[in-house]
Chains A and B, each alone.
Chain A
Amino acid sequence: MDLLLIKEGFPLLSFLIFLPLAGAMVLLFFHGEAFARLWAMMVTSLTAVSSLFLLTGFDPASAKYQFAEAYTWIPRFHINYIVGMDGISILLVLLTTFIMPFCVLASWKYIQQRVAPFMFCLLIMETSMIGVFVALDFVLFYIFWEFMLIPMYLLIAIWGGPRKVYASIKFFLYTLAGSVLLLVAIIALYLKSGSFFIPEMMWQPYSLTFQVLVFLAFFLAFAIKVPMFPFHTWLPAAHVEAPTAGSVILASVLLKMGTYGMLRFCLPITPDATMLLATPILWLSIAGIIYGGFTALAQQDMKKLIAYSSVGHMGFVTLGIFVLNTRGVEGAMLQMINHGVTTGALFLCVGMIYERTHSRELALATGVGKYMPWFVTFLAFFSLSSFGFPGTNSFIGEFLVLAGTFEHDIVLALAAIPGAVLAAAYMLRMLQKIVWGGTANPDQSHLTDLGVREIAVLAPFLLFVFWIGLGPQPFIDLMHGSVSHLLEQFNNWQQHQQIAAVLWR
């Protein structure tokens, strides 16, 4: 309990978690379309503004869990309501709260049927997403983790594209399968340590076998979520069929839950296993980066292309996490935020094209540059960011990850480079086709350029692309305390244990 910095006074984190839920409850009773949109906009905006107080009250130097709240819940099984936030989760929470209003805005015209249930699902998802990032009790974490499956399933199944049934069920079953093992691991840890309080389970001297099994269980669940190669095939299907807001949430936040889990659980709870299995996981990440690049290059569907690019980008994140040095981990964390911003924005852009051409086929969207100059400007900047062009946010993230990888193993870093080249290839190919196309462009003269609402949606993303790209220090400062604390403890652990870890080298 001494790891927690209990928040006196107003319970900000609980407020943030349950406000969207309360808002969703209201929508159960009032289901007017216009009301639903406005109400959802208000609730998400209020959450976003309130989350700013997290920033102002946060102490980057402390490694404790801040804004913590602890209440007993089910004392018989030692299940408590404990939430807290540190440097690793603050940026993710802020990402979540700030992306949500834009998702609502992007769905303003896109969703025409059953608007109130849609907003209901969005708000429930926000609750569970914020809850996942701040939960410090395993059962609480698991509840929030599973909680968002149903709304996401509904989002795809009701408001999705032509193959929505297939995609939504695939998503649901795939993720659930991984989570089942997560539950088993949680129970095993409970039996070993007698509580569900997460920080108490970190850095404990479990046996190596136990650690490896628990690690594998966690890893599988998170790897499916991330998604890592070869557990990634649900992602293209889900992204393609989901509505725009669904794709944005999926890409920006849900994927980060996987890597967050790796950082929060795999590393501190099973450090020996982490070290043992780091190298194969690193190579798996490399495979993901390169595989994602190749498959993206072959796509004709814009959303599928971006989905596969996510596989590549998250490969960089897991690469950064498992090299286990400051640069790598900070780069990975920054890349999580960057990916959220950039890929979210790219999905928004594709959504806007879809609203106009009613197709996601690249061939039907060629040559729109002449008629939609604002749109292609935004698209161009986000594409540049996607492949890590200097000056944009992804450059900083990828650079830090590669620097960390170089420190760890040069061969690994060199293997990651072709991935970056492939990223440039498929992004520029998409950009070239959309903006200019070729000689056989369809007639795009009926397309209208971005309206004020759409520009208002995209502009903040662009702002962050350049802010993080040109002045990343404030963001890195926020996470530095917690990351260095984590790695410091990791190094201490290493020194105190005799480990036959040089198996794979």
Chain B
Amino acid sequence: MTTLIEYLQARIKTVITVCFVLLAVVAGGSLLIDTHHAHTWAEQHVPFFWSLFGFAAAAVIIGVARWFGQSGIQAPTDFYDRSHSTLCEEEE
């Protein structure tokens, strides 16, 4: 396993190119597939629907998580110990 990974890592440029090709194939395949079983209008009529959905969803999630974290949810690891020692003496 390790050797396989190192083999791939040595040829990282090739791996990336292959991945892009695969993505193109998948996106192309989405145009060819039979969509009339899909449940919603969007799926049936928008080309590359799931590709766009996937990309957009991922980007939005990353953005929201980052914003959320930066707005104070991500706190230093000793946050509770510090705030506790001022408010109530935590007994060890």
The reply to whether A and B meet directly (CB within 8 Å) is no
Q: Which residues of A contact B (CB under 8 A)?
A: none
Q: Which residues of B contact A (CB under 8 A)?
A: none
